[in-house]
A and B are shown apart, each in its own frame.
Chain A
């Protein structure tokens, strides 16, 4: 069996736990239970005819990325940085985290998820900002843990990238 460790990074309340719950259990809850430390989930997937399991490390979010315990990142083979579209400072934090993650574990696949797409009316993250990301070659998904939009797709493509990477 092949296992891959994936970390979920991002400010608090951006929806890391919600995305994992949507992906692993196909559920969503409006309740906000802030994660303390780290919560580990697992999902068995198959890609390219191979079975393997993703071990998802859902880390607690902090205000300042500097506080995030990057030692949890050790051994990760892929990661997501998650931002909340309705709060643009979380996008800035996510980009910082992305840099810090690469500095810590090297060039492993890592995607940006801009979450809460179902609330797009209230988004502070503008199309201009998104264009900017594309220009910098940062791959992102507009996701919604609530509707499930692009969640499966994001995880699957990270998994595929990790397998090619290996």
Chain B
């Protein structure tokens, strides 16, 4: 009991202290009566309220336990804040500085975590907005501006200056992958365009004429190449334009495209055409020239107008867009690298071009060497970036081979593969060569070709050779005239001398007889000798001598007798020649007394009874002709 009583007061004392301490601040404890101090009352209280006192004691302990409080508050905290926040913004305001501080601290200490966790939320939207900004910026600056800072740009600007085309067009041509510029939806039979669209950048020609022309071309191709069947033209290449045709029997789509469109484009056309044919099936069936029902087709065509430039899909890495600074840095680096690469490329290309140019120059100069070579004619060259080039060369049999010609000029003949075709060259050099090979000259003759068609000979040779050679020379291709005036046959001199001698011979005859007067007999003998010699010489040359003998009488005696005697005198000469074995044809003319010597009219006989001796004579004329007698060339040898 005592033990109990002793413990309780201690507790109660403690409790009372605390109670008084608290009571000062709170009404809750304020009107609690004083603890009894009288011993018996205390005893009674303990007896009666022991249980309550202990309970109270426990409650007080709980009240003092902060962890308990926290636990208790925690149970209602959320609801409490919710309640309060619904009433006024004070919770937020109260929390703000605290949260502010906390976040600040956390940001400072654990930045990485925040970026990591925030980025997935914000990144995409940042990226999008930056991309948007850049796109419009690029758009407004235009591609030209962008190009202005690159090597490529400079080069294009230069190209524009050189070609006189606008810079924008050069840029377009260089960056364009493809652009669908116009689309015609055209009626198959008539070629009349039912609908037509053109991209904004394009100046469109009269649609009806263009479209009709396409149809005409298809008709033409079909009738020419497909044997009238239904083989259809699918595309046409016209310089930098491709015309793509998607065709069904009732109508077709023709697209004018610059560059090379992707494969998918054809599929798109195919689908569009199918759709249009279905949509306008009735209108097409009834078509008679009125295109009004097809007005609605244009937008579908418009969907097919598309284009792509080389740079369109060059994507920059995402992070470079997340941070503008970085982006600019990357851009700068990128541009730097690009221009470096461009520069490198440009240099390489330059070097390549230079090499190509040098190569082409070599080839050209080689061809020029061949062109300058007599007897060779370069007719066709298939050139390329590499050797060998194929060259077709007409070659005279007397010309050097093209390979040899190149070799002589120090050019590698393997640069070409030659196809040579024989031909006859009229090049003076070759004609001269031809004359040299075809005509064998004796040591005594020189030959010269003047380059203008005249081949001339100088020196001495036999007449036979001269004639033969002249004929040969005339038949040489490229020789138009043969000049043999510088040629002399030494034998000719002898022939001329003999002829002259014979023709100068006049033999006088005894009155009334066919025998020469004694003093002229040796003259006649000599003339006969000369004729025999002449006959022998010309025979060797393929010629014949013909002799004409004129016999004359003087005026003495009858006319009849005079004819007889003059005839008999010519026979004397002939008989002498035949006696010498000559076979020459001899024409004998007895002229009577009609031609007295010196052209004197026939005079009466003189008193001497000797008549006119000078008129009793024979005269000789010689002709030399080619053995084939009818040849007028014989005149060549008759001497003046």
A residues neighboring B (CB under 8 Å): 1-5, 37-38, 40-42, 52-53, 55, 57, 69, 71-72, 74-77, 166
Cβ-Cβ contact count across A and B, 8 Å cutoff: 67
Q: Cβ of A3 and Cβ of B216 under 8 Å apart?
A: no
A-facing mask of B190-209, CB < 8 A → 1, else 0?
11110000000000001011
B352: A residues at CB distance < 8 A: none
A3: B residues at CB distance < 8 A: 190, 192-193, 208, 289, 291
B190: A residues at CB distance < 8 A: 3, 5, 55, 74-77
Q: Cβ of B219 and Cβ of A69 under 8 Å apart?
A: yes
Q: Cβ of B288 and Cβ of A75 under 8 Å apart?
A: no
**B220 within 8 Å of A (CB atoms):** yes
Q: Given A3-B192, A5-B191, A57-B212 in contact, is the A38-B220 Cβ separation under 8 Å?
A: yes
Complex: how many Å from CA A156 to CA B222? 33
B residues neighboring A (CB under 8 Å): 187-193, 206, 208-209, 212-213, 215-216, 219-220, 222-223, 228, 288-292
Q: Given A2-B289, A75-B189 in contact, is the A55-B212 Cβ separation under 8 Å?
A: yes
B208: A residues at CB distance < 8 A: 3, 42, 53, 55
Instruction: State how many angstroms separate the Cβ of A56 from the closest Cβ of chain B.
Output: 9
**Known contacts A5-B289, A72-B216, A77-B288, then 20 further A-B pairs from the complex at CB < 8 Å, ordered by chain A residue:** A1-B292, A2-B289, A2-B291, A3-B190, A3-B193, A3-B208, A3-B289, A4-B289, A5-B190, A37-B216, A38-B220, A40-B213, A40-B216, A42-B206, A42-B209, A55-B191, A55-B212, A71-B222, A75-B189, A75-B215
Q: Cβ of A52 and Cβ of B216 under 8 Å apart?
A: no
Complex: how many Å from CA A166 to CA B287? 10
Instruction: State how many angstroms separate the Cβ of A74 from the closest Cβ of chain B.
Output: 5
Instruction: State how many angstroms separate the Cβ of A53 from the closest Cβ of chain B.
Output: 6
Complex: how many Å from CA A16 to CA B282? 36
Closest A residue to B220 by CB, please name it.
A37
Closest B residue to A55 by CB, please name it.
B212
A52: B residues at CB distance < 8 A: 289
Instruction: State how many angstroms separate the Cβ of A47 from the closest Cβ of chain B.
Output: 13
Complex: how many Å from CA A42 to CA B213? 11
Q: List 24 A-B contacts (CB under 8 A).
A: A1-B290, A3-B192, A3-B291, A4-B289, A5-B190, A5-B191, A5-B192, A37-B216, A37-B220, A38-B220, A40-B212, A40-B213, A40-B216, A42-B206, A42-B208, A52-B289, A55-B190, A55-B192, A55-B209, A72-B216, A74-B189, A75-B187, A75-B191, A77-B288
Closest B residue to A38 by CB, please name it.
B216
Complex: how many Å from CA A123 to CA B327? 85
Q: Cβ of B192 and Cβ of A71 under 8 Å apart?
A: no
Q: Cβ of A40 and Cβ of B219 under 8 Å apart?
A: no
Q: Cβ of B288 and Cβ of A166 under 8 Å apart?
A: yes
Instruction: State how many angstroms separate the Cβ of A97 from the closest Cβ of chain B.
Output: 17
B288: A residues at CB distance < 8 A: 77, 166
Would you list the 8 A-B pairs with minimal beta carbon distance, nearest first? Answer: A75-B189, A75-B190, A3-B192, A2-B290, A5-B190, A40-B212, A166-B288, A2-B289
Q: Cβ of B209 and Cβ of A74 under 8 Å apart?
A: no
Closest A residue to B211 by CB, please name it.
A55
A42: B residues at CB distance < 8 A: 206, 208-209, 212
Complex: how many Å from CA A148 to CA B532? 93
B215: A residues at CB distance < 8 A: 75
Complex: how many Å from CA A78 to CA B191? 14
B216: A residues at CB distance < 8 A: 37-38, 40, 57, 72
Instruction: State how many angstroms separate the Cβ of B191 from the closest Cβ of chain A.
Output: 7
A41: B residues at CB distance < 8 A: 209
A77: B residues at CB distance < 8 A: 190, 288-289
B219: A residues at CB distance < 8 A: 69, 71-72, 74
A40: B residues at CB distance < 8 A: 209, 212-213, 216
